[in-house]
Structure 1
Amino acid sequence: AKIGFPFAESEFSAEGEQLALSDGEAHEKLLMHLYRRRRSFAQDAGVGQYSLQKLVGCSDEAFDFHIWYLKEKGLISYTEDGTIAITIKGVDHTISMSQVHRQEKLRISGSTTMNGGAEVNTDPPSD
């Protein structure tokens, strides 16, 4: 006998994985946009929902999910005038993710090169 919720096998397929990756990209795009807004207009950092939804190009339902998730994580909040702004936690998260992306790009571009079909490690020797 199976215990738990009756999930279809397809719910855990590559399509579901791609959906989660797509959600992650939308969250990063929203946070980066709100981060730039906060850096440019610290006292007026809010952005309207329509503009944000247009930025990520998603359905109303998907946008509601993105905003719910980011708000529950404490990364965004609603301003007094009803716009959405990044929080200090969101700023810290965005900076941290930017550093991770930069390190990953450096690792990918600098760690190995192709030499006659064989990969050659170009990292300095570790002690």
Structure 2
Amino acid sequence: MTAIFESRVRADAATEKLKIFAQPQRLMILSFLLRGESSVSDIDAATGIGQPALSQQLAALRQADVVKTRREGKQIWYDLADDSSRLCVRTMEALLTEEPDPQRIMAAATTLAAPAKKPPTGTGTAGFAKIL
């Protein structure tokens, strides 16, 4: 692996990726998604961002391949795209606290616990059919 200081292309790519994380609403969304796959309404309730801005930020995160989506009927579920995205967010949460703890930062950077999967919540006829 090439160190960032050895490649301008790598430095430019890293800077572009950091720009995605350097927006407060996006960072709030990503932090919430560390807890597992969630619907737009769940993300909105947890972050208080509001529907129009939330949709805009989720679109930017999708375009940057930081989050992925899954459709279930009319419902769209969001999750972090991969372990790399999860690692970035977990490390930022550990680093960007009032009093960073070096051991906690190392644990965040070296441990990739899988998020707890939420059971699907069915609503309407489709949800009823799943019960049968």
Give the alignment's TM-score, normalised by structure 1.
0.50
Larger Rg: 1
- Name the structure, 1 or 2, with higher relative contact order (CA <8 Å, separation 6+): 2
